[in-house]
Chain A
Amino acid sequence: DVKVTQSSRYLVKRTGEKVFLECVQDMDHENMFWYRQDPGLGLRLIYFSYDVKMKEKGDIPEGYSVSREKKERFSLILESASTNQTSMYLCASSSLPGQGSTGELFFGEGSRLTVL
C-alpha cells in the first residue's frame, strides 16, 4: 500500500518560532510537493522538488524554505512562523508523467498548523 507520511497531524506554535514539517514517501517517487490549503482558496503550491537536492518555488514560496537531502524525504521549514501561516499543509509525491504514469499526486494526511 503506497504511503505518504507527514510527521505531525496537529501543531501549535508561537509567532517567530522555527517550524519543521517532515514528509516521507515510500513509493520511490521523483517528485515531491508542499501545498497549503485554506478555505475558499483551495490548494496552493509552496515548493516542489523533482530530484534530490533540487527545489523549485511554487506560487506562494514567501516565508518558507524546503530541504530534500534524500529521495524519500521532503521537509518544509518556516523560518519565523507568523499568524498568516496558520493553515493545513499537505505533502504530496508523484512519479514523472509519461512512462505509464499520469503524474497523479499521492497525498499525506496533512499537518494542521496553528500559529498564535
Chain B
Amino acid sequence: GQNIDQPTEMTATEGAIVQINCTYQTSGFNGLFWYQQHAGEAPTFLSYNVLDGLEEKGRFSSFLSRSKGYSYLLLKELQMKDSASYLCAVIGGFKTIFGAGTRLFVKA
C-alpha cells in the first residue's frame, strides 16, 4: 500500500527553527514535494527533492533520504506568517499522493 506519515501538529516560537518530518512508503517514486497551505487557501509549492541530500531555498530547506523513505522540511527564523499547514507529497508516474499535513503554529 501507499502511506505518507507526518506529525499532525507542531508549535514553535517566532525566530526559532523547526523541523517537520515525513516518512513514506509508495509504489513509485519520482520525487518528493513540500507544499504550504494557509487556512482557507490553496496549497502552494515550496520544494522538490529527487536525489538524496539537502535542498536550500532561503529560510526553507528540504532533505531527502530515499533509502530510508524519509524527508524533512526545515524552517529557519520563523515568522508569524509561517503559521500554516505543510504537506508532504510523493510523485510517482502521473500521480501525486499527499500526507495528511502538519499544522504549524508559530507563537510570539
> A107-B44, A109-B42 are contacts. A43–B30 as well, Cβ < 8 Å?
no
Using Cβ atoms and an 8 Å threshold, which residues of chain A touch B44?
107
The answer to whether A28 has its CB under 8 Å from any CB of chain B is no
Mask, B89-104, CB within 8 Å of A = 1, is 1010011111111000
Within 8 A of B (CB), among A39-72: 40-45, 48, 50, 56, 58-59
CA of A5 to CA of B44 in the docked complex: distance in angstroms? 15
- Contact indicator A58/B45 (Cβ below 8 Å): no
Interface of chain B, main secondary structure? strand
Using Cβ atoms and an 8 Å threshold, which residues of chain B touch A106?
45
Interface size on A, residues (CB 8 A): 26
CA of A102 to CA of B49 in the docked complex: distance in angstroms? 9
Query: Which of B8, B43, B91, B98 has a CB less than 8 Å from the CB of A103?
Result: B91
Instruction: Give the nearest-CB partner of A94 in chain B.
Output: B96
Instruction: Give the nearest-CB partner of A38 in chain B.
Output: B100
Nearest CB of A to B21, in Å? 15
Mask, A68-99, CB within 8 Å of B = 1, is 00000000000000000000001000100100
Interface size on B, residues (CB 8 A): 23
| Residue among A45, A97, A109 with most chain B CB within 10 A | A97
- Contact indicator B100/A103 (Cβ below 8 Å): no
Point out residues on A near B: beta carbons under 8 Å.
Answer: 31, 33, 35, 40-45, 48, 50, 56, 58-59, 90, 94, 97, 102-110
Can you name 19 extra interface pairs (CB under 8 A) apart from A105-B33, A106-B45?
A: A40-B100, A42-B87, A42-B101, A43-B43, A43-B89, A44-B98, A45-B97, A48-B94, A58-B95, A90-B43, A102-B91, A103-B31, A103-B91, A104-B33, A104-B48, A105-B43, A105-B45, A107-B43, A108-B42
